[in-house]
Amino acid sequence: MRAIEQEHRQEERPSEWLSLRELAQRTGCPARTIRFYIARGLLPGPIKAGRDAKYGPEHERRIEHIRRLQRQGLTLAEIAFRLGEHTPSDTALSATLWWRIEVAPDLVVHLRHDMPPWRRHLIDHWLKQLQRLLQNPQEPSHKESNHEQV
Amino acid sequence: MSKSNTNGAVTFVPTLANTEQPLALSLQELLLTGRITPAGAKLHVRHTFRSAHDKPVEVVYAFMLPRDGALRRFRIVGKDFRVNSELKPVKEAVREYEQALEQGSLAGLARTYRDGLVNLNLGNLRPDETVVVWLELLAGVELHERGFRFRFPFTVAPAYHSQMRAVEVAPGVGEIELPEEFGDVLLPTWTQDAQKLHAVGFNLKVSLPGTNVEISSPSHAVRVRQGEKDRFEVSLAPERDVPNRDLVLDARSREPLQLVSGGPASNGKRYFAVNIPASVFGKVPEAARRIVFVLDRSGSMADLPLKQAKQALLACLGALSEKDQFSIVAFDDQVECFTPNLVLADAEHREQAREFLGSIDSRGGTELAQGIQAAASILGDGGGDVLVITDGQVFGTEDILASVRKLGVRIHALGIGSASQDRFLAQLARESKGISRFLTPRERVSDATLELFAAVGRPVADQVRWQIVGPAEAMIAPEPSSLIHAGSTVLVFVEVTGDDPAVLQVSWLSPEGAKQTEIPLNAGTVQDGEIIRLMQGARLINDLESRITVMPSIRETESEVSSKEEQKLFQSLKQLSQEYGLASRAMALVAVVQRTDDVPGQLPHTQVVPVGLPQDVEFGAYFRSNLYSFTANSARLIRRHSSRAQARYLCSALDLSTWDPMVYGFPVASEDDSDQSSDQSSEDVLLTLAGLIEPDGGMPARIIASSAGKPVTAKRVRLRGKKDAEGRWLATALALMCFLQHGHTLHSGQYRHHVQRLLDYLQNSPLTIADSRKQDLVARLSRGEVPAGDWEQLLRRWLAGDAISASSFWASVVTQTA
C-alpha cells in the first residue's frame, strides 16, 4: 500500500485521471465493488480526495490484478494479505507476541499471534504435512491430499 | 455487552469481538411489522441506520427474501425528509444510485440477486445521522390443512456452492465469496456471536378464521393477544432479540379450512385467493409406494440437524408397509446409495437401512442435484416419489432447479434449519408437484415429517382441472398443481374482469372415480383485492425467477443478458414487475434524497452489515473446514474436516496442548453427545416406537440397550425375538395403547398410519384369535378405548431392555378394567 501511495505522488498526470464512474466502466468492476475494495484496504483511496475524487491508472491495474487473483480462487482476505496489507509494523520498540511451535525436536516455527485465522488454518495444515513427512520420509507427500478428498 | 447506565437501566452497547471496543454498527435495529393471512403476508420492515463513523458511509444490508417474497417499495425517512422509492430497470436504478452518491446525496437502492438474496444499500449516511428505511414486501406462507407456517429470515444462512470461497477472517467471523456469475452481490459477514449485532423485533397481525385457533412460535418467545374475531397480535416477548435465526410462526385451527378472500383492486379488476384443503378431495388411498429418501449429510448438517434428519427418516421407515419399495441416498459432494435399485420394505432391508443410516456422518459440500439425480436413477422408469431431507443451504438454486426439472421426478422436501431456505425448497417441491415442509432444528421432527410422509406417494386427487365459470374474462395464475397430496392446502389465485358472479369449478380423478366441486367467489371476510393482487404478482415473479440462472449486466455498454432464451425470460420478468409494481431481478427500487448541503465527489466508506451465524449451524462447517478454498476452487477440495476433529488432530499432531483455545479460535465443545433416553419426552418415546415397527406391523419382542442407555436394536436379538410371538404381541399391544393414550387414533394425529398398522397386526395375529382375553382387548383398542394405566412407563422400561412380563401386563389390564 505504501508503494502505491508513493506512485500516487509521482503520478502527476491529471490527463490520465478517471472518475469513479469511468474507472468502473473501464474495468467492468461495478462502482460499489470498487468502493468496497477501498474500504477493505485492497485499493488505495482516490488520488485526489474530497470534491471530485479521481483515480489513476494504478487503480485500474490493481483492480484487474484483484479480479485475476479472485478467478484463481483467492479470497479477498488473502489478496489483501498478498498486496501487502499485513506487512509488519516498522515502529521501533513495539512488542509482538509469537507462538513457538515445535514441529520436531530440532525444528521450531514461530507464528505471529495476531495473524488472521484463515492463514493460521493454512499454516497449521502445512506444518502438519511437514511433521508427517519428517516422521516418515518414505510416505509420499501427496498421499495426505488424496486422503482429504475421500 | 449489555451495560447498566446510572439509572440502572440496561442499554445495548455492541462491542467488538475479543476487545471491549464498541462496534461501529450502522444498522442499529430491525423491526418487522405487517399482516399475515392464509393467502400470504404483507410486511413492513423498519431498518434504523445510524452512523458512528466520522465520514459518510454506504451501508449494505444483505438479506434473504422469504418464500414467494417480492419487494414492493421503500421509504427513506430522516430528520426533515421522507422520500419514496421508484421501481426502475436494474441498470437505470444502479445508474441513478451511483449518480446520487457522486453528488453527495443520500440514496437507497434495493436490488434482488440470485437465490432471492437482496442487497439494500444506503449511501452517504452522514456522521451521527439517523435514517429509517421502511421496506414493504410480500411473502408467502407454508400452507397446511388446518393453518399455516410463516417464516421470516432475520439472518442469512451461509450456503454451499462448488466454487465458493469461505474463510474465517477474524476469530469467530466468517466471509463467503461467490464466483462472478452471481454478479456484484455482497454477502454479509457471519459472526458466531450475534449478541454483538443489531437488535431485531416484530409486531405482527395474524388472521386465521376457524375455531380454537392457536398461534405459536418454535423459534421465538412470543406474546399473543387476540383482537376482534379471527385476528391476533403477535409480538416478541422479550424487548429485543438477536439476528441469528428465522422468525417462525404457526397458526393452526381445529378443522381444515376452505377460504375465499379478496375483492376489487386498484386496477378495477377483482382478485381472489382460494384456499382448498386436501380433505375436500377425498381420503388417502391405500397403495404401495415407491420412494427414495435423499438425505443431506453435508458439513452444514453437522450435529443437531443431521440427528434430527435421521430421526425423521427412521420414523418414515417405521411407517412403510411390507408392500412398499424404498431406497436411501445420502449425499454431500459425493453420493452414497443404500441400494442400486428399490427394495421391498421387509424386515431385513429395513434393518440394513437402519445400519446404513447409523454409518452416516456429516461431511463435505451440498451437491443436492447429484443426490436427486441418483434417486431418479434408482426409481428408474417405474416412477415414484423422492423425499429430500436437507437444510437446503446452497447457492445457485436456479441451476439445481434447472437440472432437477429435466429429471421429471416428483420431489417432496423436508427442510431442516434455523435460517430460511424454504423459498428454494418450496420451489423445488412445487415444480415437481410435490409438497414441502420446513422445520427448525430444535423442534420435534415427528409432526411435520409424518404428516408429510403420510401424504407422499398417495395423492388424494389426480388430473385436477381448474376453471372459472361465470364472467366473460377470468384467469387463474399461476396454474395450480394437478396433483393433490393429503395434509396440504392448495392456494389458487384468480383474476376476474367485470362484476359478474364467478365460481371456481374444480374437477378431479380420485380413487373412487371422477369428482367435481364448485366454490363461489364471493368476496370473503377481507375485501382486499389489492393485497391478493400483489401476492399473486409475487408468486408469479418467484416462479419465473426460479427459471433464470443469470444476473443482468449493469455495464452501460452491454446488453442486460447475452443469451436469447434468457433475454426472453428477462423481458417477461420486467413486464411482470411493471404490471404488479414489484421488484425482481430485472427491476430494482431506488430513492434519492437531495439536500442543500450535499458535498459532491466524496467517497463514502462502504460497510457490509454483519449477521449472526444461524443457530445450530456449526461455524467450523463453513469457515474452518475448507483448508483449501483459497488455494484451489475445486469442489472436491472443499473437504470434510469437522472443526472439532481438526482441532483435536492438529493439537495432538503439533503438540499444541498449551495453546490457548480461545486465541486459537477452535470451538471448545465437549465431545460427549450421548443421548439420555431417560430424558426423552413422551413425544420422543412415540417417535422411537414409530421407528421400531416391523414391516408386518408388529413390534419386535425385545430391545437391547446400549451402554449409553440409548435403545439399540440388534439384528440377532430381533431374529430370536421373531420366534417370541407372545412377546411381540404384548409389545405391540403396549405400543398401540401408548399411541392411543396420547391422542393418536385411527383417524387423527400424525401417527394414525402407525396406529392402523399396529391394530392390523393384532387383529390378524393367530394369538388374538386363539385367546378371548386378547380378543376383548383388541376389540376395545379398535374402538379407541384404552384401559387406564401408565403404559408409557411400562414401555419406557421395555425400550430400556426389559422384557414385558405377561402376567403383570394382564394384571394391569384386568385391574384397570375392573
Judgement on whether residues B90 and B237 belong to the same structural domain of the protein: yes
CA B764 to chain centre: 40
Predicted confidence at residue B232, as pLDDT, reads: 95
Q: Which of A38, A75, A121 sits opposite B603 (nearest CB)?
A: A38
Give tens-digit pLDDT for A78-136.
888 888 754 555 555 677 888 898 888 999 999 988 888 888 888 888 888 898 888 88
Q: How near does any CA of chain A get to the CA of B84, in Å?
A: 22
User: CA B46 to CA B132: how far, in whole Å?
Assistant: 7
| Beta-strand pair B70-77/B82-84 | antiparallel
Give tens-digit pLDDT for B151-165.
999 999 998 888 888
Q: How near does any CA of chain A get to the CA of B331, in Å?
A: 13
Rounded to 10 deg, the angle between the B682-692 and B791-799 helix axes is 60
Predicted confidence at residue B452, as pLDDT, reads: 85
Judgement on whether residues B390 and B496 belong to the same structural domain of the protein: no
Q: Which residues pair with B11 in a beta bridge?
A: B3
Residue B576 maps to a domain: no
Residue B76 maps to a domain: yes
Mean pLDDT of B796-806: 80
Judgement on whether residues B238 and B205 belong to the same structural domain of the protein: yes
**C-alpha grid cell, residue B513:** 372415480
Residue A90 maps to a domain: no
Residue A140 maps to a domain: yes
Give percent of chain B above pLDDT 70: 86
User: CA B230 to CA B242: how far, in whole Å?
Assistant: 30
pLDDT exceeds cutoff 80 at B504: yes
Mean pLDDT of B658-686: 45
Judgement on whether residues A56 and A122 belong to the same structural domain of the protein: no
User: CA B542 to CA B427: how far, in whole Å?
Assistant: 8
DSSP string, A26-83: HHT--HHHHHHHHHHTSS---SB-STT-BB-HHHHHHHHHHHHHHHTT--HHHHHHHT
Point out the least confidently predicted range of A27-41, B327-341, B416-430.
B416-430
Q: How near does any CA of chain B get to the CA of A47, in Å?
A: 12
Q: Are B317 and B352 in contact (CB under 8 A)?
A: no
Q: Which residue has the higher pLDDT, B446 or B634?
A: B446
3-class secondary-structure state, position A140 = coil
Residue A92 maps to a domain: no
Instruction: Using alpha carbons, list the distances in angstroms from residue B82 to B44, B85, B134, B193, B578.
Output: 16, 10, 10, 35, 24
Residue B161 maps to a domain: no
Task: Tell me which chain A residues have a C-beta less than 8 angstroms from the C-beta of B633.
Answer: 72-73
Q: Is A130 on the interface with B (CB under 8 A)?
A: no
Query: Which of the residues B176, B626, B654, B660 would you substitute to probe the A interface, choosing the one with the greatest number of A C-beta atoms within 10 Å?
Result: B654
Q: What part of A 5-44 touches B (C-beta under 8 Å)?
A: 19-21, 24-25, 28, 30-33, 35-36, 38-39
Predicted confidence at residue B285, as pLDDT, reads: 83
User: CA B3 to CA B8: how far, in whole Å?
Assistant: 9
Sheet holding B214-216, edge to edge: B142-144, B147-152, B247-252, B214-216
Q: Which of B429, B453, B488 is nearest to B324 (CA)?
A: B453
Judgement on whether residues B276 and B323 belong to the same structural domain of the protein: no
Residue A93 maps to a domain: no
Contact B630 A78 (CB under 8 A): yes
pLDDT exceeds cutoff 80 at B603: yes
What ipTM did this prediction achieve?
0.81
pLDDT exceeds cutoff 70 at B605: yes
| Beta-strand pair B173-177/B436-439 | unpaired
- Per the structure, the count of domains in chain A is 2
pLDDT exceeds cutoff 70 at B755: yes
Q: Which residue has the higher pLDDT, B648 or A47?
A: A47
User: CA B328 to CA B353: how far, in whole Å?
Assistant: 8
First to last CA, chain A: 41
Give tens-digit pLDDT for B541-591.
999 999 998 888 887 777 777 788 888 999 999 999 999 999 999 999 999
Q: Is A109 on the interface with B (CB under 8 A)?
A: no
Range of the domain at B105: 26-153+193-252+585-608
Q: Which of B781, B738, B789 is nearest to B761 (CA)?
A: B781
Cβ neighbours for B204, distance < 8 A, ≥ 6 positions apart: B32, B33, B34, B35, B36, B233, B234, B235, B249
Q: Which of A25, A39, A118 sits opposite B167 (nearest CB)?
A: A118
Judgement on whether residues B489 and B443 belong to the same structural domain of the protein: no
**DSSP 8-class letter at B657:** T
Predicted confidence at residue B139, as pLDDT, reads: 97
Residue B103 maps to a domain: yes
CATH number for the domain that contains residue A64: 1.10.1660.10
Residue B4 maps to a domain: no
Residue A89 maps to a domain: no
Q: Is A120 on the interface with B (CB under 8 A)?
A: yes
Q: Which residues pair with B83 in a beta bridge?
A: B76
Q: Biggest alpha carbon distance in chain A? A: 65
Q: Which range scores top for mean pLDDT: A20-24, A118-122, B142-146, B575-579? A: B575-579
Q: Which range scores top for mean pLDDT: A33-42, B361-370, B649-658? A: A33-42
CATH number for the domain that contains residue B487: 2.60.40.1230
Q: Which of B516, B527, B520 is nearest to B469 (CA)?
A: B520
Residue A135 maps to a domain: yes
Q: Which of B416, B401, B452 is nearest to B143 (CA)?
A: B452
Four-residue CA torsion sign, A64, A65, A71, A74: negative
Residue A91 maps to a domain: no
Judgement on whether residues B110 and B33 belong to the same structural domain of the protein: yes
B791 burial level (CB within 10 Å; 0-12, 13-18, 19+): buried
Judgement on whether residues A15 and A51 belong to the same structural domain of the protein: yes
Judgement on whether residues A76 and A104 belong to the same structural domain of the protein: no
Residue B93: pLDDT band with limits 50, 70, 90: very high
User: CA A42 to CA A83: how far, in whole Å?
Assistant: 7
Predicted confidence at residue B660, as pLDDT, reads: 32
Contact B627 A125 (CB under 8 A): yes
Judgement on whether residues B488 and B438 belong to the same structural domain of the protein: no
Judgement on whether residues B389 and B464 belong to the same structural domain of the protein: no
pLDDT exceeds cutoff 50 at B717: no
User: CA B534 to CA B539: how far, in whole Å?
Assistant: 9
DSSP string, B429-448: HHHTT--EEEE-TTS-SHHH
User: CA B771 to CA B775: how far, in whole Å?
Assistant: 6
How many other C-beta atoms can be found within 10 angstroms of the C-beta atom of residue B31? Answer: 18
CATH number for the domain that contains residue B115: 2.60.40
Four-residue CA torsion sign, B227, B232, B234, B237: positive
Residue B598 maps to a domain: yes
Four-residue CA torsion sign, B624, B627, B631, B635: negative
Residue A17 maps to a domain: yes
Predicted confidence at residue A12, as pLDDT, reads: 59
Q: Which residue has the higher pLDDT, B260 or B681?
A: B260
User: CA B266 to CA B553: how far, in whole Å?
Assistant: 33
Q: Which residues pair with B261 in a beta bridge?
A: B273
pLDDT exceeds cutoff 90 at B312: no
Judgement on whether residues A22 and A76 belong to the same structural domain of the protein: yes
Residue B81 maps to a domain: yes
* Mean pLDDT, all residues of chain B: 83
Q: Which of B626, B761, B766 is nearest to B694 (CA)?
A: B761
3-class secondary-structure state, position B757 = helix
Q: Which of A39, A50, A53 sits opposite B607 (nearest CB)?
A: A39
Task: Tell me which chain B residues have a C-beta less than 8 angstroms from the C-beta of A72.
Answer: 633
Give tens-digit pLDDT for A59-86.
999 999 999 988 888 889 888 888 875 4
Judgement on whether residues B270 and B303 belong to the same structural domain of the protein: no
Q: Is A75 on the interface with B (CB under 8 A)?
A: yes
User: CA B396 to CA B176: how far, in whole Å?
Assistant: 14
Residue B621 maps to a domain: no
Instruction: Using alpha carbons, list the distances in angstroms from residue B385 to A39, B292, B319, B453, B707.
Output: 50, 6, 15, 11, 38
H-run or E-run covering B390: strand B385-390
Judgement on whether residues B274 and B141 belong to the same structural domain of the protein: no
Judgement on whether residues A74 and A135 belong to the same structural domain of the protein: no
First to last CA, chain B: 63
Q: Which of B325, B463, B315, B457 is nearest to B385 (CA)?
A: B457
Q: Which residues pair with B135 in a beta bridge?
A: B45, B74
Check whether the bond before B478 is cis (ω within 30° of 0): yes
- Final residue belonging to a domain, choices A31, A49, A82: A82
pLDDT exceeds cutoff 70 at B633: no
User: CA B1 to CA A139: how far, in whole Å?
Assistant: 50
Q: Are B616 and A93 in contact (CB under 8 A)?
A: no
**For chain A, how big is the Rg over CA atoms in Å?**
21
User: CA B662 to CA B659: how far, in whole Å?
Assistant: 9
**DSSP 8-class letter at B742:** T
Predicted confidence at residue B57, as pLDDT, reads: 95
pTM to 2 decimal places: 0.79
Judgement on whether residues A102 and A138 belong to the same structural domain of the protein: yes
Q: Which of A79, A67, A85, A78 is nearest to A118 (CA)?
A: A78
pLDDT exceeds cutoff 80 at B632: no
Q: Which of B600, B606, B656 sits opposite A36 (nearest CB)?
A: B606
Judgement on whether residues B34 and B138 belong to the same structural domain of the protein: yes
DSSP string, B393-441: -BS-HHHHHHHHHHH--EEEEEEE-SS--HHHHHHHHHHTT--EEEE-T
Residue A53: pLDDT band with limits 50, 70, 90: confident
Predicted confidence at residue A147, as pLDDT, reads: 35
Judgement on whether residues A78 and A114 belong to the same structural domain of the protein: no
Q: Are B768 and B804 in contact (CB under 8 A)?
A: no
- Final residue belonging to a domain, choices B507, B541, B575: B541
**DSSP 8-class letter at B636:** G
Q: Which residues pair with B389 in a beta bridge?
A: B295, B414
Residue B710: pLDDT band with limits 50, 70, 90: very low
Q: Which residues pair with B249 in a beta bridge?
A: B150
User: CA B775 to CA B132: how far, in whole Å?
Assistant: 71
Judgement on whether residues A7 and A64 belong to the same structural domain of the protein: yes
Residue A142: pLDDT band with limits 50, 70, 90: very low
User: CB-hemisphere CA count at 13 Å for A14?
Assistant: 3
Q: Which range scores top for mean pLDDT: A37-41, B447-451, B750-754? A: A37-41
Give percent of chain B above pLDDT 90: 47
SS3 of B519-577: EECCCCCCCCHHHHHHHHHHHHHHHHHCCCCCCCCCCCCCCCCCCHHHHHHHHHHHHHH
pLDDT exceeds cutoff 90 at B319: no
User: Between vectors from CA B357 to CA B354 and to CA B360, what angle results, nearest 5°?
Assistant: 160
- Final residue belonging to a domain, choices B391, B426, B455: B455
Q: Which residue has the higher pLDDT, B672 or B123?
A: B123
Judgement on whether residues A62 and A107 belong to the same structural domain of the protein: no
Mean pLDDT of B243-258: 93
Judgement on whether residues B365 and B498 belong to the same structural domain of the protein: no
Judgement on whether residues A75 and A127 belong to the same structural domain of the protein: no
Range of the domain at A37: 2-82
- Per the structure, the count of domains in chain B is 4
Predicted confidence at residue A3, as pLDDT, reads: 47
Residue B64: pLDDT band with limits 50, 70, 90: very high
Task: Tell me which chain A residues have a C-beta less than 8 angstroms from the C-beta of B602.
Answer: 50-51, 53
Cell 447409523, residue located? B358
3-class secondary-structure state, position B266 = coil
Q: How near does any CA of chain A get to the CA of B344, in Å?
A: 31
